[in-house]
Homo-oligomer: A and B are copies of this chain.
Amino acid sequence: MAFWRIFHKRRIFKKLYPKNPPQSIVDYLAFNMKKGPVTIKDIARELNVSVSTVSRALADNPLVKLETRIAVKELAKKQNYRPHFTALSLRSNKTKTLGIIIPQLVHEFFSMVIRGIEDHAYANGYNVIISSSHESYDREVLDTKALINGRVDGLMACISKETKDYEHFKEFVDRSIPLVFFDCICDEIEAPKVVLDDFDAGYQATKHLIQQGCSSIAYVGGPINLLINRDRLAGYNKALSEANLNTKDDWIIHCDSGDYEEGRQKSESLINSKEIDGLFAATDMLAIGAMKNAKKAGLKLPEDLLVVGFSNWSIGSLYEPSLSTMSQPGYEMGLKAAELLIRQIDNPEQTITETFVLKSELIVRESSMTD
């Protein structure tokens, strides 16, 4: 068949049929009916042009003739072609993916952070992959290792409560993979950071209790290896000393997990002692644990004990009495973190190391009302 003889002469033919060039119409059709996702090559074959032409046509490159461009785009649409993500990444050495490492998923604050990150990322053509460390150091290390093989263009991390060693993050710096910390940061590593002004928040909360007439104020906080908890405590101390109020060692309780059950257990004897008339907790759940104890001990809330929590969890407004708390602008934090990260990815030469500080606001509810 003259057709095949002529056809076989063209180099493009060999290119498009690399292994066993079809020798008959039947072969040819069989080859073209292959399964699997449609590639640029399939389109090229169908239209008898080269892959480069197809690639350019899809990019609307004016170098290729208008009618070719149209034909290619039509066929691509008809066969609903999608560029192969992995191939693109390999070629460009960019995954257009941002990694997030957070300690917990079921957390209203982190959820808002993620939403902020997603919004900024999607708006800039990035995808997001989330790893939850479940507050475990080992899992955090595993997650960072899984993300370091060129799988993400950059990483945003909030370290877990267990984390005291930061080697796994240093590797990102060594490989110059952009890294941004948010909320629970690690100050040993040079990287942009987005944090809440926890010192000021602790100060505001305590000052509010003082203004409401409390004079013996306790603090129930989270793990002290986290900077945020040291800051909240420092704010608490500042407010007290400013008002010439004293505290006692027994009135300062450090919890490991910060959840309800731990708060209940660790604050029980303090509440039962009835020495205090105000309590600032670094977590809404800790606050609720303490309030449960107070109710059990026969205290009236808020008459006998004023309480302020932290994070503005929705449970706080449902509890009785509803819980006063400090807001955490999670959405803004996520937005800012994503913005910093993407800026660093786009400009690898200039390294940002600033720390951005967001303000917390007091939300007054029944648990700290005196009227």
Contacts and interface: CB of A to CB of B under 8 A. Distances in A.
A115 interface: yes
A84 B150 contact: yes
Contact of A105 (B82, B86, B111, B175): B111
Contacts of A3: none
A21 interface: no
Contacts of A318: 260, 288, 292, 315, 319
A148 interface: yes
A278 to B, nearest CB: 22
A114 B132 contact: yes
Interface of A: 35, 37, 80, 82-87, 89-90, 95, 105-108, 111, 114-115, 118, 122, 127, 129-130, 132, 134, 142, 146, 148-151, 171, 175-176, 260, 288, 292, 314-315, 318-320
21 contacts: A82-B150, A83-B149, A84-B90, A84-B150, A85-B151, A86-B86, A86-B89, A86-B95, A86-B151, A87-B90, A105-B111, A106-B106, A106-B107, A106-B111, A114-B132, A115-B134, A122-B142, A130-B130, A288-B318, A315-B318, A319-B319
Nearest to A35: B176
Contact of A150 (B37, B151, B319): B37
Nearest to A259: B314
A55 to B, nearest CB: 16
Contacts of A105: 105-106, 111, 114
A278 B115 CA distance: 38
B127 A86 contact: no
Contacts of A171: 80
Contacts of A146: 127
Contacts of A260: 314, 318
Contacts of A150: 37, 82, 84-86
A131 to B, nearest CB: 8
| Most chain B beta carbons < 10 A, residue from A86, A122, A146, A314 | A86
Contacts of A87: 90
A151 B149 CA distance: 15
Nearest to A118: B132
Given A86-B151, A146-B127, A37 B175 contact: yes
Contacts of A37: 150, 175
A49 B171 CA distance: 28
A148 B314 CA distance: 35
A176 B37 CA distance: 9
Nearest to A88: B149
Nearest to A314: B260
A274 B111 CA distance: 38
Contacts of A89: 86
| Most chain B beta carbons < 10 A, residue from A95, A118, A149 | A149
Nearest to A109: B106
Contact of A84 (B106, B149, B319): B149
A58 to B, nearest CB: 14
B86 A90 contact: yes
